[in-house]
Homo-oligomer: A and B are copies of this chain.
């Protein structure tokens, strides 16, 4: 199966159209950056782009394991889920940073859109599953990912973007304009890990 995929260039299939990033006005980026980093050019040998099918082989799931439980997800399961996400129009914007010198995914964040009837039948966005690999901390890559996805959510016409975060990250997210709703509680039931 693997070899067939590679021969067909199937590996290069994007989860979403990379051109949506070009619709972002760079002057809208919210954060300050040092060392010529910008969300669209995060550094030497670092490429930011939509998730691709081939990222299974570039350590995408291993990176997610630095964030939470992933479990044993086979390549077939990965492909199935990728294709289901891709079939949902205007919904899954999983973005990755690849260190092209190592063919390795070293950062990722997800923008997911929920279609609504409220708010003029537009959509709400959420930022989920933000992680930068341990060896790549301190390079402003978390800022790069969040800044890009906040701007993308606005470009895509969402009426709001939200996220859940631990107390020690509140200041980080405030940088982009996120505000705590003092009266809004986050509640959950967990069925399994």
- Contact check, B114 vs A128: say whether CB atoms are below 8 A apart: yes
Chain A contact residues: helix, strand, loop or mixed: mixed
Q: When A73-B121, A114-B128 are in contact, do A186 and B160 touch as well, CB less than 8 Å?
A: no
Instruction: Report A158-193 residues with CB < 8 Å from chain B CB.
Output: 158-167, 170, 173-174, 176-181, 183-193
User: Given the complex, which residues of B lie within 8 Å of A161, measured CB to CB?
Assistant: 188-189, 191
Which residues of A are at the interface with B, using a C-beta cutoff of 8 A? 60-61, 64, 67-73, 77-78, 80-81, 84-85, 87-92, 112, 114-121, 126, 128-129, 150, 153-154, 158-167, 170, 173-174, 176-181, 183-193
Q: Other CB < 8 Å A-B pairs besides A70-B119, A165-B185, 19 of them?
A: A60-B117, A72-B120, A81-B115, A81-B117, A85-B115, A92-B115, A114-B126, A158-B191, A162-B186, A164-B184, A167-B183, A167-B185, A170-B187, A178-B188, A179-B189, A180-B186, A180-B187, A181-B188, A184-B186
